[in-house]
Amino acid sequence: MLAVTCMEYIKEEVNNKGYSYADVARRTKADYRTVKKYADKEDFQTSTASKKKQPSPVMDPVKPTIDAWIQEDRKKKKKYRRTATRMWQLLKKDGFKGSERSVRHYVSRRKMELVEESEDAALPLENKPGTAQVDFGEGLFSREGKIVDLPYLILSFPGSGGCYTQVFESQNQDCFLEGLKRFFHHIDGVPNTIRFDNLSPAVKKILPRGERELTERFRTFALHYGFKYEFCNPVSGNEKGHVEAMVKYVRNNFFLPERTVYDLEALNDALWEEVEGDRERPHYKHGTSIAELHQKDLDSLYYLPSTPYDTMRYESLKADKYGFVTVDQKKYSTSPRFASQRVLVGISYNRIIIFQDDDVIVSHQRLYGGETESIDWVPYLSLMAKRPTALKYTTFFDQLPKPWRAYLEDCTLSEKKEALKFLATIMKDQQMDKAVQALKTASKQGHPSADAIQQVYHQQMHGRGYRETVDVPQQLPSMPEAHRGMKQYDAFFQVKGGSSHA
């Protein structure tokens, strides 16, 4: 039997809008005779008469087991589900005496009943375990002495009141998909159905008759994890009222007053436990704890796919004449050798990675907010070593610690080249603090050479400490003059008068 909403749609399209049976059948993918039957039907009263069920002494004891298998298999992809024949074989091992045909008949009928029950239970969405809603909220946070707005993504389960949240830098598609992926892998499963607002990371365009043109990445993400998606009608936030309420609840109970953020990932790690602890409170309606109700949601989740979805996207971008690529109006350095060339750029919610074939050239933290440019100077230092006079006019020079700026200003041209080569080496290991310490130590004897700084640096890095240079006296004692050849050897054996010892 068709779901009630489908019957209503058929009657509306045929009787009120005047579409033909064939047209409606084609759009609903229903049989022509079925469409005609429900369009013309007048009596929809439910019959109170029911067929008396006959007891089945052979099948009745195993029906709960079969039902459990069917419910468990519904979380899996079809190719991993037990067939009716396989169920019969498993039952036989436990002493079942019934026929394979009886099992096949029951499995077929029970699967159809569970599908109908599932469709009925989905109306309304909030009453079905394992269904969820998703939306972004915004909260105030304290960061580096400033109050900033940061978005947080919410996954809520209306049936139980359970929810999860993660804070991000933006509401862009990269953060949106990363958030969903985190939720799924944290709860070790995938909600059966998720209702969204018409978020731009998911919906490219709203089409007539409730259809949506989805973004390609969201479509492939949903296919990968296997959840059904639903979208609210435009300007109808009440259709996802639970997640709207949870957005306010999370803001009021977790982010007020303004929470100080030093490390966003550390904050998100803490939020898993904080939100879980909050579920111990009683549900406002059912009396029992939210955690107990939420367990039904978790038991109804689909299984995760064998491999996680790669939320990093890859684009081929052309670098400008300085070797910078642009992502969302932000500039990221590559290397001087890639100036005006195309490079492969990996873009995730928090990283921008420049590739050459399979090798990583540069990895940047993704920029948000007011910053517009990220520079990794390591690939540029070898070029600067060839053009040291340009050093003072780069932002790299301004970013150097004060001792190094002062040292480089006192260097000759050749000394500056060697110092830049040394900096290129240590900056690959992100050891600038050690380089500052080495410079200060080596400078105790005056203006040091790059080799002297490098020697102190390696002594510090390998745990040998700094070894003072031995002071050599300026006046050395006179030494006897050395002569090359065998003359002195011959003179040692020479006897006066020209004779020698035999």
**What does the mean pLDDT of the chain come to?**
82
Q: Is 475 part of a structural domain of the chain?
A: no
Between 261 and 97, name the one with better pLDDT: 261
pLDDT of residue 123: 43
Q: Is 355 helix (H, G, I), strand (E, B) or coil?
A: strand
Q: Is 245 part of a structural domain of the chain?
A: yes
pLDDT of residue 468: 58
First to last CA, the chain: 130
Calculated CA dihedral for residues 398, 402, 405, 410, nearest 10 degrees: 150
pLDDT of residue 324: 92
Number of neighbouring beta carbons within 10 Å of residue 208: 5
Angle at 217 between CA 213 and CA 222, to 5 degrees: 85
Identify the band that residue 50 occupies on the pLDDT scale cut at 50, 70 and 90: very low
CATH number of the domain bearing residue 201? 3.30.420.10
Residue 417 and residue 320 share a domain: no
The tokens describing 429, both together, are 């290991």
Average pLDDT over residues 432-442: 85
Place of tokens 């440019």: 373
Q: Are 143 and 261 in contact (CB under 8 A)?
A: yes
Q: Is the pLDDT of residue 17 over 90?
A: no
Q: Is the pLDDT of residue 235 over 60?
A: no
Q: Is 215 helix (H, G, I), strand (E, B) or coil?
A: coil
- 477 DSSP 8-state letter: P
Q: Is 247 part of a structural domain of the chain?
A: yes
Distance CA 85, CA 108 (A): 11
Residue 285 and residue 159 share a domain: yes
Number of neighbouring beta carbons within 10 Å of residue 486: 8
Contacts of 267 (CB under 8 A, 6+ apart): 167, 259, 261
Distance CA 313, CA 502 (A): 92
Q: What is the pLDDT of residues 344-392, one digit of tens each?
A: 999 999 999 999 888 888 999 999 988 899 988 778 777 788 788 877 7
Q: Are 331 and 150 in contact (CB under 8 A)?
A: no
Distance CA 165, CA 398 (A): 40
The domain boundary, picked from 376, 398, 421, lies at 376
CATH number of the domain bearing residue 340? 2.40.50
pLDDT of residue 446: 87
CA distances from 76 to 64, 300, 331 (A): 19, 11, 44
| Burial status of residue 403 (CB atoms within 10 A of its CB: 0-12, 13-18, 19 or more) | middle
Q: Is 482 part of a structural domain of the chain?
A: no
Q: Are 215 and 201 in contact (CB under 8 A)?
A: yes
Residue 447 and residue 340 share a domain: no
Smallest CA-to-CA distance from 195 within 229, 243, 234 is with 229
Distance CA 14, CA 35 (A): 9
Residue 210 and residue 170 share a domain: yes
Distance CA 134, CA 113 (A): 29
Long-range contacts at 285-290 (CB < 8 A, ≥ 24 apart) = 290/160, 290/161, 290/162
Range of lowest pLDDT (22-36, 209-223, 258-272, 316-330): 22-36
The domain boundary, picked from 325, 355, 376, lies at 376
Residue 120 and residue 29 share a domain: yes
The separation between CA 198 and the C-alpha centre of its own chain, rounded to angstroms, equals 22
Residue 328 and residue 272 share a domain: no
Identify the band that residue 337 occupies on the pLDDT scale cut at 50, 70 and 90: confident
Residues 288-314 as b/e (b if ≥16 CB within 10 A, e otherwise) read: ebbbebbeebeebbbebeeeebebeee
Q: What is the pLDDT of residues 460-499, one digit of tens each?
A: 877 655 555 555 555 656 666 655 445 555 565 565 555 5
Question: Based on the structure, what is the number of domains in the chain?
Answer: 4
Q: What is the pLDDT of residues 133-168, one digit of tens each?
A: 999 999 999 998 899 999 999 999 998 999 999 999
Q: Is the pLDDT of residue 261 over 60?
A: yes
Residue 118 and residue 156 share a domain: no
Q: Is 306 helix (H, G, I), strand (E, B) or coil?
A: coil
Q: Is 491 part of a structural domain of the chain?
A: no
Q: Is 494 part of a structural domain of the chain?
A: no
The domain boundary, picked from 99, 124, 149, lies at 124
Identify the band that residue 99 occupies on the pLDDT scale cut at 50, 70 and 90: confident
Residue 354 and residue 386 share a domain: no
Number of neighbouring beta carbons within 10 Å of residue 319: 24
Distance CA 233, CA 362 (A): 44
Report the percent of the chain where pLDDT is more than 70: 83
Residue 386 and residue 369 share a domain: no
Q: Is 197 part of a structural domain of the chain?
A: yes
Domain containing 383 equals: 379-461
Average pLDDT over residues 280-308: 89
pLDDT of residue 124: 46
Identify the band that residue 417 occupies on the pLDDT scale cut at 50, 70 and 90: confident
Distance CA 337, CA 353 (A): 16
Q: Is 471 part of a structural domain of the chain?
A: no
Residue 183 and residue 116 share a domain: no
pLDDT of residue 46: 45
Residue 201 and residue 101 share a domain: no
Average pLDDT over residues 293-309: 92
In DSSP terms, 400 is beta-bridged to: none
Place of tokens 């580096």: 144
pLDDT of residue 49: 45
pLDDT of residue 116: 64
The tokens describing 426, both together, are 């240590």
pLDDT of residue 484: 45
- 58 DSSP 8-state letter: T
Residue 105 and residue 148 share a domain: no
Distance CA 130, CA 302 (A): 9
